[in-house]
Structure 1
Amino acid sequence: MKHPYIPYGRQYIDEEDIQAVVDVLKSDYLTTGPKIHEFEKKVADYVGCKYAVCVATGTAALHGACYAADISANDEVITTPMTFAATSNSILYLGGKPVFADIDPRTYNIDPLEIEKKITKKTKAIIAVDFTGQPAELFKIKDLAQRHNLIFIEDAAHSLGAKIKDSQGNWQKIGSIADITTFSFHPVKHITTAEGGMICTNDPKLYEKLTLFRSHGITRSPGLLIDKSHGKWYYEQQFLGYNYRLSDLQAALGISQLNKLDSFIKRRREIAALYDKAFSESIFKNRITIPYQAPHTKSSYHIYILKFNLSAIGKSREEIFNKLSDLNVGVNVHYIPVYYHPYYQYLGYSKGLCPIAEKLYENIITIPLYPGMSNEDVNYVIKSIKDV
């Protein structure tokens, strides 16, 4: 009999989460209520930033970040090709041009040296992605952005709870280093609100802009009004925003999930350590490369990626992938380089832009990792890979 299917990622929902949502269902506010501000404050406190704005999705968070950064037609924004398309799509939404910089061959994160090569007079911003949960070279990129007067956006969809050492050797949580940091609360992420996202910043002007952006560009705040108020009912639409609001139901779930985040990350790291140990055994030598962890970072392990030496193994990636799938191991590939997609080819991008990222793509498979995995599940994944 086959082992039950093990997905590559899965949410963890308990009775506390369910009760939190039920309590809101019984309240007066299903949306635009008090749970929104509470969730924002708790996330801001957790990551150490001054302001947080919750939105409907991680994509909405990236869109908002690019809007707040004033990305517009003909602006270039440098980012990584090893990401979900939402990262670069958010640049396109505003008429900007994504410019792809290659990755570090060890961490798979965007390489600051490659970023610098891509900077031109048209460059407006840099978007770094914390790939798999390991922080990018945030302080190096921040310094680079400041020297060139660029906005630094951190796409932290993979890395809530991750840490990086600052220049003094102190560990700092990601979320307050870049000018703007975005998070995703999709079910396979560290915490979930079903769909949802958060934008964090220390800049009060960016914060004000983002709060309007998520709600049609509308404000009721007396201090922000352009025209004279007509009365207590008065509100103004000041620019073309979007309906990117998160509901109180989702915020309540997020608050409950956030209370468990540290335990979720602890379990993710335990599973990653089990994988590291298993795939470092002699049987896998020169066949599998485990994820490299830079000593100045602490990954929160959104996903776990193995790189295969396919010529040494004597099998194609597709063959390995399909056999693992047949064994009910929910594998995936993160990611197809963004500019490989037909839409980006239509825009004029071509293969060969980032050779390190392209070579990595050809040899990687993502294996299951989520807090609800048992050690039995982990051992089954390891055994299945050995068998294949």
Structure 2
Amino acid sequence: MKKIPYGRQNITDEDISAVVEVLKSDYLTQGPKIAEFEEDFAAYVGSKYAVAVSNGTAALHLNAMALGVKPGDKVITTPITFVASANCVRYCGGELIFADIDPDTYLLDINKVRELLEKDTDKEIKGIIPVNFAGRVVDMEAFRVLADEYGCWIIEDACHSPGGYFINSKGKKVRSGSGRYADLAIFSFHPVKHIAAGEGGMITTNDEELYKKILNLRTHGIQQDFSKRIYDDSLWYYEMQELGYNYRLTDIQAALGLSQLKRADEGLVRRKEIAATYYNYFKNKDYVKGQSKVIEGHAYHLYVIEVEQRKELHAYLRDLNIYAQIHYVPTHLMPYYRDFGWKEGDLPNAEAYYGRCISLPVFPTLTQEEQEFVIEKIDVFFKK
């Protein structure tokens, strides 16, 4: 059997043609494809505004800057996420407070977050970063109510969940990144994500002021609006009014992202089929201690099962060219964050999950034969 990764991009002839068209055009960057991608992506998730950036990490950093994170500010997030979800706060000098996960959903436990906010008598906690881990969308409505009660902002890390949604208290579908409840949301276009652009990211929001601020921060802090320049309004003049970064996306990447966006829902359908096959097979297996649930709105960037002997299973599968992955080493146990006092035992649900979790291959071009091979070999391992 050929190599089976946990995730893989799907590049079609249409994608290649879209990129070649840009390569033959007048603009490789800062051209019309950027705005087109932003407009179409905003329409896809249901937000008012979208800002394309160089990657998901840049999106997180820009969000933290736009929300004014500064030294002394504290922000709550989950330990079961890629480190960038937390690092964006540190880039601005803020402090991280990790809250434990709900062991049933693998998402940030809102009850644990409430406990932390109740103890914050000095009002040092300024924000919350829930993460739509594996593609399951957080109940952002519930987090919005909690955040408003304690005067916090929300960044929705939606890198795993474009096209995903949750059902709100009125029975309505609320798309991941729609901006209905979160102040800002971010997406990634890394090759293993639903929409691949090589690298790249997107910020979505319904807040016009935050949108305009991020536009400037994305391009060196240079004011884009002629009417708001302080010293000169000449056509050739550019004016840096604050410290920003070069976090722009190229038109080449935007063209690829646009092409991929056109079949995003098609990919979601296939991911859900793969997830349902895994779930139905493993739900009665004694060796599976937990697994991703089949629920409405889940985008299935990952499909996770929990097993004992996880390390041995991981090595066994790699020997068979099945490149399952572990998502994630708890962020609070990274050496960098241990230096701030975090240690084993602080977040028992996250740590127990990490000891058992393994992400199985799930991507739209995974064949039935490949998935059956993965399932068969896991069965063989536990029957040895």
The bucket for the TM-score relative to the shorter chain is over 0.9
Which ranges of structure 1 fall in alignment gaps of 5 or more residues? 311-315
In the alignment, the residues of structure 1 paired with residue 127 and residue 224 of structure 2 have an alpha-carbon distance, to the nearest angstrom, of 30
Match of 1:157 among 142, 156, 159: 159
Cα deviation, residue 172, structure 1: 1.8
Q: Secondary structure at the match of 1:219?
A: coil
Matches within 5 A, 1:191-340: 191-225=195-229, 227-281=230-284, 284-285=285-286, 287-293=288-294, 297-308=296-307, 310=308, 316-340=309-333
* Cα pair 1:157 1:184 within 8 Å, conserved: yes
Closer/same/farther in 2, CA of residues 220 and 131 from structure 1, 3 Å limit: closer
Query: Bigger CA drift: 47-56 or 350-359?
Result: 350-359
Closer/same/farther in 2, CA of residues 217 and 369 from structure 1, 3 Å limit: same
Q: Which residue of 2 aligns with 1:378?
A: 371
TM-score by length of 2: 0.96
Matches within 5 A, 1:122-161: 122-161=124-163
Which ranges of structure 2 fall in alignment gaps of 5 or more residues? none
In the alignment, the residues of structure 1 paired with residue 311 and residue 105 of structure 2 have an alpha-carbon distance, to the nearest angstrom, of 24
* Cα pair 2:227 2:233 within 8 Å, conserved: no
In the alignment, the residues of structure 1 paired with residue 193 and residue 222 of structure 2 have an alpha-carbon distance, to the nearest angstrom, of 30
Q: Which residue of 2 aligns with 1:42?
A: 40
What amino acid is aligned across from residue 249 of structure 1 in structure 2? Answer: I
What amino acid is aligned across from residue 215 of structure 2 in structure 1? Answer: T
In the alignment, the residues of structure 2 paired with residue 378 and residue 173 of structure 1 have an alpha-carbon distance, to the nearest angstrom, of 29
Cα deviation, residue 62, structure 1: 0.6
Closer/same/farther in 2, CA of residues 223 and 230 from structure 1, 3 Å limit: closer
**Are 1:366 and 2:367 matched, yes or no?**
no
In the alignment, the residues of structure 2 paired with residue 155 and residue 230 of structure 1 have an alpha-carbon distance, to the nearest angstrom, of 37
In the alignment, the residues of structure 1 paired with residue 169 and residue 339 of structure 2 have an alpha-carbon distance, to the nearest angstrom, of 43
Cα deviation, residue 224, structure 1: 2.7
Q: Which residue of 1 aligns with 2:115?
A: 117
Q: Which residue of 1 aligns with 2:168?
A: 166
* Cα pair 1:100 1:353 within 8 Å, conserved: no
Cα deviation, residue 286, structure 1: 5.2
Q: Secondary structure at the match of 1:152?
A: strand
Between the aligned residues of both structures, percent identity stands at 45
Query: Bigger CA drift: 372-381 or 169-178?
Result: 169-178
Match of 1:187 among 162, 180, 191: 191
In the alignment, the residues of structure 1 paired with residue 18 and residue 288 of structure 2 have an alpha-carbon distance, to the nearest angstrom, of 47
* Cα pair 1:109 1:131 within 8 Å, conserved: yes
Q: Which residue of 2 aligns with 1:344?
A: 337
Closer/same/farther in 2, CA of residues 76 and 27 from structure 1, 3 Å limit: same
Query: Bigger CA drift: 170-179 or 13-22?
Result: 170-179
In the alignment, the residues of structure 1 paired with residue 358 and residue 300 of structure 2 have an alpha-carbon distance, to the nearest angstrom, of 15
Cα deviation, residue 146, structure 1: 1.1
In the alignment, the residues of structure 1 paired with residue 373 and residue 35 of structure 2 have an alpha-carbon distance, to the nearest angstrom, of 43
In the alignment, the residues of structure 1 paired with residue 287 and residue 22 of structure 2 have an alpha-carbon distance, to the nearest angstrom, of 54
What amino acid is aligned across from residue 299 of structure 2 in structure 1? Answer: S
Q: Secondary structure at the match of 1:386?
A: helix
Cα deviation, residue 166, structure 1: 1.6
In the alignment, the residues of structure 2 paired with residue 84 and residue 165 of structure 1 have an alpha-carbon distance, to the nearest angstrom, of 25
Cα deviation, residue 293, structure 1: 4.5
TM-score by length of 1: 0.95
In the alignment, the residues of structure 2 paired with residue 230 and residue 136 of structure 1 have an alpha-carbon distance, to the nearest angstrom, of 45
Q: Secondary structure at the match of 2:202?
A: strand
What amino acid is aligned across from residue 270 of structure 1 in structure 2? Answer: E
Q: Secondary structure at the match of 2:69?
A: coil
In the alignment, the residues of structure 2 paired with residue 293 and residue 372 of structure 1 have an alpha-carbon distance, to the nearest angstrom, of 20
* Cα pair 1:69 1:125 within 8 Å, conserved: no
Query: Bigger CA drift: 13-22 or 113-122?
Result: 113-122
In the alignment, the residues of structure 2 paired with residue 228 and residue 318 of structure 1 have an alpha-carbon distance, to the nearest angstrom, of 62
Q: Could you give the per-residue CA deviations for residues 43-93 of structure 1, whole angstroms, max 9, x where no partner exists?
A: 000111000001000000111111111111010000000000000001100
In the alignment, the residues of structure 2 paired with residue 75 and residue 259 of structure 1 have an alpha-carbon distance, to the nearest angstrom, of 40
Q: Could you give the per-residue CA deviations for residues 296-352 of structure 1, whole angstroms, max 9, x where no partner exists?
A: x410100010011x2xxxxx2211111111111111110110011111112332222
* Cα pair 2:99 2:108 within 8 Å, conserved: yes
In the alignment, the residues of structure 1 paired with residue 102 and residue 232 of structure 2 have an alpha-carbon distance, to the nearest angstrom, of 54
In the alignment, the residues of structure 2 paired with residue 287 and residue 53 of structure 1 have an alpha-carbon distance, to the nearest angstrom, of 41
* Cα pair 1:107 1:293 within 8 Å, conserved: no
Closer/same/farther in 2, CA of residues 274 and 31 from structure 1, 3 Å limit: same
